Amino acid sequence: AFPHAAMAALTELLGQKEENSWRIMLMTMLISQPALAEQVIPWLSTPAVAVLKSCQQQLTQPSNHASADLLPAVVVSPPWLSKKKKSPIPVLDLAPLGIEPICYLTEEISNQLLAKYIWYSKYITVSHEESTTNLLARMGFQRRIAGTYIKAPEAVVEAWLNEDYSTLLSEFKVFHSPTGHYWQLGILTTLPLEKAVKAWNALTLSPHTDTEYAMLHFGLKGLPGLVNSLARYPQEALPITNYFAASELAPAVARAFNKLKTLRENARSWLLKYPEHALTGLLPAALGKAGEAQDNARAALRMLTENGHQPLLQEIARRYNQPEVTDAVNALLALDPLDNHPTKIPTLPAFYQPSLWTRPVLKANAQSLPDSALLHLGEMLRFPQEEALYPGLLQVKDVCSADSLAGFAWDLFTAWQTAGAPSKESWAFTALGVLGNDDTARKLTPLIRAWPGESQHKRATVGLDILAAIGSDIALMQLNGIAQKLKFKALQERAKEKIADIAESRELTVAELEDRLAPDLGLDDNGSLLLDFGPRQFTVSFDETLKPFVRDVSGSRLKDLPKPNKSDDETRANDAVNRYKLLKKDARTIAAQQVARLESAMCLRRRWSLENFQLFLVEHPLVRHLTRRLIWGVYSAENQLLACFRVAEDNSYSTADDDLFTLPEGDISIGTPHVLEISPTDAAAFGQLFADYELLPPFRQLDRNSYALTEAERNASELTRWAGRKCPSGRVMGLANKGWIKGEPQDGGWIGWMIKPLGRWSLIMEIDEGFAVGMSPAELSAEQLLSKLWLWEGKAESYGWGSNSTQEAQFSVLDAITASELINDIEALFE
């Protein structure tokens, strides 16, 4: 019978491999059909019987639950179950106060944003002779029926000429009934400004396109239309909204912050950027009648007050010159944070079976949370998490061990997946960001990397948010690893954005953040790790690629960590073996990142202050193993190399002759010198010194290929030395690992160029026949023809068909090291 076979199969599988989801399924069956166990035992192998017995014992063993007096009050008698208190805040009918809107679009910013619309601006040009009917057709008043194009009737033309936009909106809806359609409002920018703005502000009440393009032309005159557009299309309109401070925009931004998870950070940024306009626009709704508008406004107000804007809120309240407004704001600020929960608490889903999962235990005595407390924990995890966690969750995190909470969250996530991952219960997924730890990040990252290939890009994107929410060194290391390398480029770009956001929030560059993201992996101050078997000890060290290896007490390098034997302390030895396995796993993740960032620092001529060099490179327990294998340079304030040195085993500095080196005083910085900067004498001497110490570099430094542009090439905007040559397609794809990015996909997803960002400039490599989005290596043509290589004055993300080719730049704008590395990249395609 099915249940017998299912129970037998689960126990046999668990007898071969421990898998938490299988164990939970087995325990669920034991609860619902306990008699099956004895019936299937005769079928089972010895390991499977042991598994079954252990599960039965787990279900029947006496509980060690904590008593109510030891638990946080929020999981004993939660406020949402108490009788609803009458709100101390009166409902007020307030009009928004007036505050002048401001547009922060400069000419430079507008030109940068408009660069991607160059082709579109040519497409929408309207001639003076064009009829109104044709204009309306291009704006969307056109349908194809039975092969014939039907255009706007005369009544619509008359309404347009008379600026009767109410009629236009209703006629447009009828014209495209029942399927519906949208206005293409970018064309309005070609009309006289007064006429265009009137139409924009009115027609945006209907479905439409081209919000950013229109607002780049209309500025504050188009603000009413932007308000309409933001309410209808927050994802498309929020980016351009970031340049407008206006109280009218605040309600829609607050909704995005409170309701739209994918837009929360963008909305938060706007609210914090324009707090006075935001608070002015939101206060009426926050003190108004209950409903979604009040919820959104109060969520945004809480975030703003938590970020230091409480005095500004109280000042805006006083501007009303009404005591009841000031009193209401003070009452709002005095609300108990625990009362900030949803009015309706829905029943938890059927897959929420916490009695089968890892139970959170108290730090104080290792007693577990009882079922009633787990019920309320699940309810809290379901609450919308805004700027800060619901305070009740913080109370649970304060008293429970982090590992047990992480185990509970992973079991919850597993149950959600087993139930088909229902989107309306995605809180069971995001709970990993609330309760997860380093181990959560390690287990989640492979899933994130795989999900886009399983048509789960959105879930993978949420996974990135979870890694950022966990926020530990290991979690951010995993996030940065995805940002550095992933075959699914859309997700990789999203990971890069997350890293950039984290860096910005800490007022760091991405490179400076990466210094701080390098985890120490639990190594000691000497950069090593002792593995204690009891009678035997072994020491972990690292090679030039950060691959760990072990030495015995005599210092001899071993092939691998020995297996424990009978004379070893069993507990210590097993702990040491597991610790080494975890170390190797983490080192594999981080090694390529660290090597790549130091090589990139050399090519980009990055410099460190003395303090940061010492802290993040010399003394860092893990990175020091790379630092000691490279030559370092002292640079003047003018970025001129003054001297070279190496870092010795004792963290002292030495010259090429192995003499003690003292850093000079003054305004200096430290960097990794490129071979073009190192004198032949120093290069030879350091090369011999590294050979004597048997130190292999993590990447090519002294023996790096170096190249130079010819005088003719320096004065040209195109390099022709490789024109017409073919190279393997895989190597072109591999340029992504050297900082190149794929061009913007065109019709059919075709990509015909690669771009190397160079700050103000971009190197454009046009290829034939190119490749398509999502194309696997097996689908690529064997070779690519390098048809053109030229320098464009503009940022890489702005380049596409229609970009102004007159923005070509001469290669003389590049320094010698940048030019050498670019040539090196291209030469490697043909090796």
Q: At what angle do helices 234-241 and 250-259 cross, to 10 degrees?
A: 120
Amino acid letter, 145: I
Residue 120 has pLDDT above 90, yes or no: no
First to last CA, the chain: 63
Q: Looking at residue 417, what is its pLDDT?
A: 92
Same domain, 478 and 613: no
Q: What is the pLDDT of residue 290?
A: 86
pLDDT band at 387, cuts 50/70/90?
low
- 586 with 556, same domain? yes
Burial of 741-754, coded b for 16+ CB within 10 Å and e otherwise, reads bbbbeeeeeebbbb
Residues 153 and 272 in one domain: yes
Beta pairing partners, 549? 541
- The answer to whether residue 37 is domain-embedded is yes
| Residue 738 buriedness (CB in 10 A; 0-12 / 13-18 / 19+) | middle
Statement to judge: residues 602 and 588 lie in one domain? no
Take residue 552 and report the two structure tokens written for it: 């015995």
Q: Are strands 750-758 and 741-742 parallel, antiparallel or unpaired?
A: antiparallel
Is residue 348 assigned to a domain?
Answer: no
Domain boundary among 592, 612, 633: 592
CA distance 19 to 26: 11
Lowest mean pLDDT among 149-153, 572-576, 772-776, 789-793: 772-776
Candidate from 49-53, 147-151, 819-823 with smallest mean pLDDT: 147-151
Residue 705 in domain:
no
Q: What angle do CA 492, 497, 501 make, to 5 degrees?
A: 150
Q: Does 137 score more than 90 pLDDT? A: no
Res. 708: pLDDT tops 90: yes
Gyration radius (Cα) of the chain, Å: 32
**Which of 549, 573, 592 is at the close of a domain?**
592
701 in a structural domain: no
Distances (CA, A) of 377 to 123, 370, 380, 465, 516: 57, 11, 5, 21, 34
3-state secondary structure at position 788:
strand
Buried b (16+ CB within 10 A) or exposed e, 72-85: bebbeebebeeeee
64 — pLDDT class (breaks 50, 70, 90) = confident
SS (H, E, C) 624-656: HHHHCCCCEEEECCCCCEEEEEEECCCCCEECC
- Regarding whether 493 and 614 lie in a shared domain, the answer is no
Q: What is the mean pLDDT of residues 395-406?
A: 94
Mean pLDDT is lowest, of 338-342, 380-384, 538-542, for: 338-342
pLDDT tens sequence across 473-503? 889 889 988 988 888 878 988 999 899 888 8
- On whether both 605 and 587 belong to a single domain, the answer is no
Query: Per-residue DSSP letters for 255-307?
Result: HHHHH-GGGHHHHHHHHHHSHHHHHHHHHHHHTSSSSHHHHHHHHHHHHHIII
- Whether cis (ω within 30° of 0) applies to the bond prior to 154 is no
Domain extent for 546: 529-592
Same domain, 332 and 370: no
Within a domain: 761: yes
Give pLDDT tens digits for 342-361: 878 889 999 999 988 889 99
Q: Give a yes or no: residue 488 inside a domain.
A: yes
Is 70 exceeded by the pLDDT of residue 533?
yes
In a domain, residue 698? The reply is no
Q: Distance between CA atoms of 494 and 477, rounded to whole angstroms?
A: 15
Q: Kindly report the average pLDDT of the chain as a whole number.
A: 89
pLDDT tens digits for 304-357?
998 899 999 999 999 999 999 999 999 999 888 888 888 788 899 999 999 888
Q: Out of 217-226, 293-302, 459-468, 531-540, which region has the weakest mean confidence (pLDDT)?
A: 293-302
Q: Indicate the number of domains in the chain.
A: 6
For residue 8, the Cα-to-chain-centroid distance in whole angstroms is 43
Tell me: pLDDT of 278 over 80: yes
Asked whether the predicted pLDDT for residue 759 surpasses 90, the reply is no
**Model pLDDT, residue 121:** 73
Q: Which of 312, 339, 366 is the last residue of a domain?
A: 339
Residue 778 pLDDT > 70: no
How many secondary structure helices (H) and strands (E) does the chain include?
A: 35, 18
How many Å apart are CA 752 and CA 465, to the nearest integer?
Answer: 32
Residues in the chain, overall count: 831
Cβ contact 94:283 at 8 Å:
yes
| CA gap 484, 518 in Å, rounded | 14
Same domain, 450 and 366: yes
Distances (CA, A) of 751 to 191, 740, 744: 34, 14, 6
Check residue 745 and report its DSSP letter.
P
CA distance 734 to 347: 50
pLDDT of residue 663: 92
The two structure tokens encoding residue 577: 């073996």
pLDDT of residue 139: 86
Do 544 and 401 lie in a common domain?
Answer: no
What's the pLDDT tens digit per position in 179-213? 678 888 988 998 999 999 999 999 999 889 889 99
* CA atoms of 489 and 818, how far apart (whole Å): 25
Compute the distance between CA of residue 496 and CA of residue 346 in angstroms, rounded to an integer.
Answer: 36
Do residue 602 and residue 575 come from a single domain? Answer: no
When pLDDT is averaged across residues 551-580 and rounded to a whole number, the result is 94
Kind plus residue range of the DSSP H or E element containing 317: helix 310-318
On whether both 757 and 672 belong to a single domain, the answer is no
Pair 136, 243 in one domain: yes
Query: Cβ distance 604 to 639 under 8 Å?
Result: no
Tokens at residue 468, please? 């950022």
**Domain assignment present for 74:** no
Please return the burial class of 246, using the count of CB atoms within 10 Å of its CB with bins 0-12, 13-18 and 19+: buried
Say if CB 621 and CB 614 are below 8 A apart. Answer: no
Q: How confident is the model at residue 792 (pLDDT cuts 50, 70, 90)?
A: confident
d(CA 173, CA 164): 15
Taking residues 251-264, report their average pLDDT: 86
- What digits encode the pLDDT tens for the residues 611-664? 999 989 999 999 999 999 999 999 999 999 999 999 999 999 999 999 999 999
Is a pLDDT exceeding 90 seen at residue 563?
A: yes
Instruction: Reduce the DSSP state of residue 692 to 3 states and report it.
Output: helix
